[in-house]
Structure 1
Amino acid sequence: MTDDDDRIETLERRVSELEAATRALRGYVGDRRAVAASVERRADAALAAVDRIETDDDCGGS
């Protein structure tokens, strides 16, 4: 093997590692987005419930 072959092999290995790391990061970001969306839905539901309670109180509800 020549020096050029060694460098190419090293670069190919590094590219493969970077591609794997990129896939892992994309998976992590996707998971975080899913969690954020879930939290946002729960927060929206909680705000809607509070709004209903406040509306009931304003209308003379119990």
Structure 2
Amino acid sequence: MQAHAILFPARLHDSGHPVHVVEGLAHNPRTVPDVARVVARHLAKNDRRGVLLAGHSKGGVIGK
């Protein structure tokens, strides 16, 4: 795992923001719409509303 993938969530957490990670998305070959559905299901299943999604590279596009 690249350092920024660990440091970015840690910095958010250390700044007082709760951080929740959607597991299994690193280096995924799936399409953006497919993964967007995975993230949407994760948010619904865990009752996450009013959240700010943060992502890197493809994860940033998925968050849109």
Name the TM tier (shorter chain). Answer: under 0.3
The structure with more radius of gyration: 1
TM-score in terms of structure 2 length: 0.27
The higher relative CO (CA closer than 8 Å, separation ≥ 6) is in 2
